[in-house]
Structure 1
Amino acid sequence: MAESESGADKSEDPTGKRMQEAREKGQVARSRELNTLAVTLAGAGGVMATGGGMADILMKIMQSNFDLPRAVLMDERSMAIWLLASGKMALDAVMPLLITLLIVSIAGPISLGGWLFTTEPLLPNFGRMNPLSGIKRMFSMHALAELLKALAKFGVILLVALAVLNADRDDLLAIAKEPLEMAILHSVQLAGWSAVWLACGLILIAAVDVPFQLWDNKQKLMMTKQEVRDEYKDTEGKPEVKSRIRRMQREMAERRMMASVPQADVVITNPTHFAVALKYDAEKGGAPLLLAKGSDFTALKIREIAQESKVTVLESPALARAVYYSTELDQEIPAGLYLAVAQVLAYVYQLKQFRAGRGKRPSPLNDLPIPPELRRDE
C-alpha cells in the first residue's frame, strides 16, 4: 500500500477531481512498449506492402546513376540535377511508409491515456534537480520494475532475433547467389518478415507493460482519507459558505417568484398566514398554474404586490392552505382542486365584468369543494 509524505496510508481510490488535475499536469498512463510495438508493426507491414515498389525504384535509381552519359559526367550542373531527381524518386518510394509511421507514432501514444496537450511538464521543476530525490528515484520500486522490463525485453528480442536468423539462414546465404534485381527484392521481403517476427516478440512485453503502467499510474494518484476529506471540503465549500449560497439562492428564487405575481389571475389568501397566486391560460389549456406561494411575511408581500398590480385578492383559508401544501411553484394544481379553483376563477371573471359595468355583482363564494385528503388545518 502506498504512503504519503506524511506517512499516512494511501488507501482511497483517486477521485474524479484528482484524476482530472493529474491529467492537466500531464500525469497519465503511457506505455513506451506499446508505442514501440505499434511503430514496429506498422513499419513491418509497410515494408511488406510497399517493399516490391521500393525495390523497383531502388533498381531504377541504381541503373540510372551507374550508367550516366558522358555529357552529364562532364557537366557539374547536371550532377546536381541528377542528384535531386534521384532523391525525389527515393522520397516517392518511401513516402507511403513514412506517412504510415507518422500516423501510427501519433495514434500509438493516445491509444492509452487518450489525447492530451499540456505545457505543465515543460515548466521548470527544481525539485527534480535535488540529488537526494534523484537517488531515491534510482533505487525505487519503479526503477527496479523498469530495469527488469528492459532486461526482459532484451532477452525476448534476442531470442526472437536468433530464431529468425536461424530460420532464414538458407535464404540469407542464397541472396549472394541471386541476380541483383531478385536479391534486392528478396532482401526487402526478408527484412519485412524479420521485423514482423520481432514485433511479435514485443507483443509479450507490451501485454505486461500496459497493465503495469495503468496500475502504477493509479498507485501514484491514490489518496489518504484526510486528502479525500480535504478535497470534499474544498469542493463543497465550508458550511457557512454553503449556507450563504443557499440563502442567496432562496432570495433569487423569491425575487423571481414575486416578479410573476402581477401575471396571476387571482391571489387566494388565508387571509394572514398563507397566500397563493394562480394563473389559468385558456389558450394553452391544462390546469391552473401556481405562480407564487408564501407564508407570513412572504404572504404579506404577495398580497401587497397583487394589490399594487390590481390582481384580485380573494380570502379562502381552506383553499389557500390546500394549494400551498399540495402544489409546487410553476406546477399545475392537483385534480382534486380543479372544481374549487374553477369556481374561484369564474367568480373573478364575473367580478371583473361587474366592475366594468357589464354584469351584476357575483354572489360570495362559500363552502368550496375541497377533498378531505387535500384539506389542511391551521
Structure 2
Amino acid sequence: MHRSLSLLLTSLALVMTGCEKKSPPAPATPVTGGSAGAQATPPAASGALVVGVLGSLTGGEATYGISARNGIELAIQEANTAGGVKGRKLETRVYDSQGKPEEAAQAATRLITQDKVALILGDTGSSASLAVAEKAQAAGVPMITPSGTNPAVTQKGDSIFRVCFIDPFQGSVMAKFAREHLKFDTIAVLRDNKSAYSIGLADTFVGRFSELGGKIVADESYAKGDTDFRAQLTAIKKAKPQAIYIPGYYSDVGIIARQVRELGVTVPLLGGDGWGSDKLFELGGSAVEGSYFSNHYSPDNPDARTQKFIADYKAAYGSVPDAIAALGYDAARVAVEAMKRAQDTSGAALREAIASTKDFPGVTGTLSLDANRNPVKPAVILKVGDGKTEFVTTVAP
C-alpha cells in the first residue's frame, strides 16, 4: 500500500481496515492531483511497470475492495518473484474508491494522468466500475474489473475487460436453480434500485424464472443506505412466496434477513455473489442460514491450483480468501500474462494481448474472453450454513 501526502484526497487507500490480518509491505510513493481532462501518456520504457488498483477499501462494501486488493497484491508479488515482466518489476498504486462512482472516477484520472499506469485493475462494484471504464476507455488504458458484473461495464469500449461472469448469466443460473433444483413455483424479489448490480441481477432473474414457468408474486425495492425494510417485507409476506430473491450486497442482506425473520417469514433467501463475505454471517446471524447464492468459486474445490492459492493467501493474510480475493488474483494474473505476451506495454498492445486470453487456468475456473471481453466460465451455487457456506453444485455456461 502506498502512503500519501497529508493534503491528498481522502479517496486514496491510506490504511488497512480492521478485518485484515496481514499485508505485505510496499514502497511508499507520493501522489499528486491531476487534471480530469488530461489524456494518458505511455508508461516509461524502463523502471517499474505501474499497475493501478481501485476498490472500496472503506465504507459499506470495504470487504470487497480489501479482498480484491489482497488477491491482486499476492499475484503481483508472485510475478515479481518470478522475474517480473520483460525484465521489469511490477509496482501497484492502490486507491480507495469508497464504493462511490465519483470517487472511483477521480481516482482513475489520477492513475492515468499522474501515475502513468500501464493498466487498471478495478473497481470492485459495478457502479464504480462503470465510472472507471469511462475514464480508462477515453485514455486508451486497459482496465480489468475483478468483480463488476453489470453487462454495461465492458460495453464502455474495447479497452474494458472483466474476469467475473456477468449478471445475466448469474441471474439466469439462480432462476434455473430455484425452479428446477429447489422446485419453487412462486418467488418475491427485493432489489436495490440505486445499484446497477442489483437491478441487473433482478431483471434477469425475473425474466428467466418466468420463462421457466415460475411466477414473481412481488417485486419490491429499496435504496442503498436504507436500514428499515419492514414495509417492503410486509408486502412480500402478504404475497406468500416460496423464496425471496435479494440480489444485493452483504451489508444490506444481513439486515434484511434479520427483519425477514422478525416478521415470521421462514422461506429461503436467494442471492448473488454480492453475498460473498464473512461479514454476511456477522450481520445476518442465523437469519441467513438455509439460504442460497451464486458465486465465482468455492474454497472446497479440490483443484490443485485453487488449493495452492488458498494456502498462499492464508500465509500472507491469515484468512481463507473469499471469491472477490480469488477474482482479484485472477484479474492480476490475466494482466501479467498479457503483459508478457504483448509486443510492448502501450495501451494498444496490452489491450490486444488481454483480448486474446484463452483457456486461462484461473482459481475461479478456466476462462476465455469472448468477443465482448467477458469471460466464458462456470458459476457455483453455495448454501449458507452455520457461519460457513456449503458447495451445492456447479453450473457451466
Shared fold (TM-score, shorter chain, > 0.5): no
Structure with greater proportional helix content: 1
Structure with greater proportional strand content: 2
Highest Rg: 1 or 2? Answer: 1
TM range, smaller chain: under 0.3
